[in-house]
Amino acid sequence: MEEKRFPEFKPELCMYCAGCVAVCPALALNLNETKLELNKEKCIKCLACTKICPVGALR
């Protein structure tokens, strides 16, 4: 069985559209003007954010 993992964030690709923040069911993503933060205490590793990201900044 594949082990669940946290999404990996590539800041150099991110265009800060906030799409991932909107789909996260656990409210684990926070976006501010300069960065996207993942709250590992909240993240349930569903990887919905990786599917919505239009530029592959979350994998």
Tell me the closest approach of the beta carbon of residue 1 to ligand SF4, in angstroms: 17
- Cα 16 to Cα 4, 6, 32, 34: the distances in Å are 25, 19, 9, 9
Binding interface with ligand SF4 (CB under 6 A): 7, 14-20, 23-24, 26, 28-29, 31, 36, 38, 43-49, 52-53, 55, 57-58
Say if residues 42 and 4 touch (Cβ distance below 8 Å).
Answer: no
> What is the distance between the alpha carbons of residues 46 and 23, in angstroms, rounded to a whole number?
11
Tell me the closest approach of the beta carbon of residue 2 to ligand SF4, in angstroms: 14
Tell me the closest approach of the beta carbon of residue 40 to ligand SF4, in angstroms: 9
